Chain A
């Protein structure tokens, strides 16, 4: 069964450094998402992406964040200058459509900023 994959599984970085989190969505999906989950808290929406552009973003997704689909398969989240409070699990998700279409989540990347 096709699944969303994410790399790396764990990333440790120093404050102020740039990180790129990578995701490979399911191949016939059209809608892509990034979420984050701070330890012990609820899942939070960051950004949605469709047709090679951002379709929606939350207040969390400020100028430090960017997303890209550099080729036909990868979907990346870049954090330009990491802060301690960026430490969280980052989940990528993809879906074939909107509304009642199921979102498939990847296993996540644990980002630790020291």
Chain B
């Protein structure tokens, strides 16, 4: 069954600290993996998109890694800020289409406190 599992479900960290969010998937075939940031009551915003051949991709303080062999990805946030408080969603694309090929995770809720 095609599934995307994210951990932890929620996380609280102090401002300035680093954190790592995990995404494990059992999706086949595989085309690409996306990380989105979703602020409360807003639409998801893309952080990174990684294809099979990419191991690491950065977007400012966000660094995503992908191990296609173990079917694992992580999102590392460096020097967290209050504005990083959001839900982070891992999405795996099974093909070069979108739509039903996109398998969404439930997300990790990150709270950054001062």
**Contact: B97 with A98, CB < 8 Å?**
yes
Nearest-neighbour CB distance to chain A for B25, whole angstroms, equals 13
Given A42-B106, A100-B49, A100-B51 in contact, is the A91-B43 Cβ separation under 8 Å? yes
**Contact: A106 with B43, CB < 8 Å?**
yes
- 0/1 string, A72-114, CB within 8 A of B gives 1: 0000000000000000010101010011101111111010000
Contacts of B98 in A (CB 8 A): 31, 33, 48, 95, 98, 103
Given A107-B42, A108-B43 in contact, is the A42-B51 Cβ separation under 8 Å? no
Contacts of B82 in A (CB 8 A): none
**Contact: A56 with B100, CB < 8 Å?**
yes
Contacts of B104 in A (CB 8 A): 42-45
Q: Give bound CA distance, A51 to B99, whole Å.
A: 15
- 0/1 string, B82-114, CB within 8 A of A gives 1: 000000010001001111101011110000000
Contacts of B89 in A (CB 8 A): 42-43
**Residue B28, interface by CB 8 Å:** no
Determine the main DSSP class of A at the interface with B: strand
Most A CB contacts (10 A, CB to CB) among B46, B96, B98 go to: B98
**Residue A4, interface by CB 8 Å:** yes
Nearest-neighbour CB distance to chain B for A3, whole angstroms, equals 10
Contacts of A31 in B (CB 8 A): 98
Nearest-neighbour CB distance to chain B for A2, whole angstroms, equals 14
**Residue A28, interface by CB 8 Å:** no
**Residue B32, interface by CB 8 Å:** yes
**Contact: A45 with B102, CB < 8 Å?**
yes
- 0/1 string, A19-61, CB within 8 A of B gives 1: 0000000000001010000000111110110000001111000
Task: In the A-B complex, list the 9 residue pairs whose CB atoms are closest, starting with the nearest.
Answer: A105-B43, A56-B99, A99-B96, A48-B99, A42-B106, A42-B104, A102-B46, A43-B104, A91-B43
Query: Which A residues fall within an 8 A CB radius of B?
Result: 4, 31, 33, 41-45, 47-48, 55-58, 89, 91, 93, 95, 98-100, 102-108, 110
